[in-house]
Amino acid sequence: MGFLTGLFWLAAVIVGAMAAGWVFRTAVIAVSPHGVAREFRTMPLTAGFGLLMIVIYVLVAVFAPAIAPFSETAIVGREYQAWDNVHLLGTDNLGRDMLSRLIYGARNTVGIAFATTALAFILGSVLGLLAAVVGGWLDQLLSRMVDVLMAIPALIFALLLLTIVGTSVINMILVIAVIDATRVYRLARAVAMNIVVMDYVEAAKLRGEGLWRLITREILPNALAPLVAEFGLRFCFVFLTISALSFLGLGIQPPTADWGSMVRDNATLISFGDITPLLPAGAIALLTVSVNFVVDWQLHRASGLRE
């Protein structure tokens, strides 16, 4: 009986998610210009649901102070207070409002993950494109350095570096960005190596185009589709890495609200059948799945395949 009930709720969640994706896609098509609307008509319901969730996360992160009922650091009740009309999701191990910290966690965790991913992408893609275009000793030097860094497991390397340099937000962003830039470098270089041998690139070189113009006008526009898709996937990995580091105590430091540390701080409630610690974990999982839905759609568009 319990198994059938679980299947029923799972089916209800899937149907509800698909319905939400269809409504969102229909609304976007209705308000978008003709060219944009034509692209969104090909968007699957999974991508519609993923895009809707991403928009909701962004709005919650931007307007967190206006949405949250309490401050993220204020102690407003007893420890591990149950859900009630005042504290809709109860309180944590210090008596702070869980709903407020969950909302502020969207700003902190997602914002820091996005900034880290953007920095990693700028660093990795610029170096990867330069290596492919210039070649020679520069390509060999950068590639061997990347090989050495990629030989070390990313999470262990991040733990080691953060233990050495400290656990401030700036240090965490720089450490994770450098580690993830190696993955972006490999992709950018591989894509660019297939483009630099094209006739139009050779023609641009013969016209005397400079290095920067050659990269920005000839190579980058043709390498953009896989790089954009990789940005979404890389954001998920960075997001999960930050959450894992926070869970281990080396990520975003207290009293700043962070979903990874929220799971750790309230994990003891699981022993008493309380699902409160699973809420930040669910928020992490939902955003990761949503981003992957949108990335799958973009990869499908970039491949040129049609149903």
In a domain, 33, yes or no: no
Neighbours of 265 (CB within 10 A): 19
In a domain, 58, yes or no: no
Amino acid at 21: G
- Is 96 strand, coil or helix? strand
Which conformational region is residue 176 in: left (phi greater than 0), alpha (psi within -120 to 50 degrees), or beta?
alpha
Per-residue pLDDT at 6: 60
As a whole number of angstroms, the distance between CA 26 and CA 40 comes to 9
In a domain, 204, yes or no: yes
Reported pTM: 0.81
Query: Of 117, 124, 129, 126, whose CA–CA distance to 219 is shortest?
Result: 129
Per-residue pLDDT at 305: 45
CATH number of the domain that 186 lies in?
1.10.3720.10
In a domain, 93, yes or no: no
In a domain, 295, yes or no: yes
In a domain, 265, yes or no: yes
In a domain, 38, yes or no: no
Domain that holds residue 229: 105-303
Beta bridge partners of 175: none
Contact 83, 90 (CB under 8 A): yes
For the chain, which residues score pLDDT lower than 70?
A: 1-6, 9-10, 36, 302-307
Per-residue pLDDT at 302: 65
The DSSP annotation for 258-300 comes to -HHHHHHHTGGGGGGT--TTHHHHHHHHHHHHHHHHHHHHHHH
As a whole number of angstroms, the distance between CA 115 and CA 290 comes to 19
Tokens of 306: 């049609």
Per-residue pLDDT at 2: 53
Per-residue pLDDT at 307: 46
- Domains of the chain: total: 1
In a domain, 13, yes or no: no
Span 182-237, pLDDT tens digits: 988 988 888 888 888 787 777 877 777 777 878 778 788 788 778 887 888 888 88
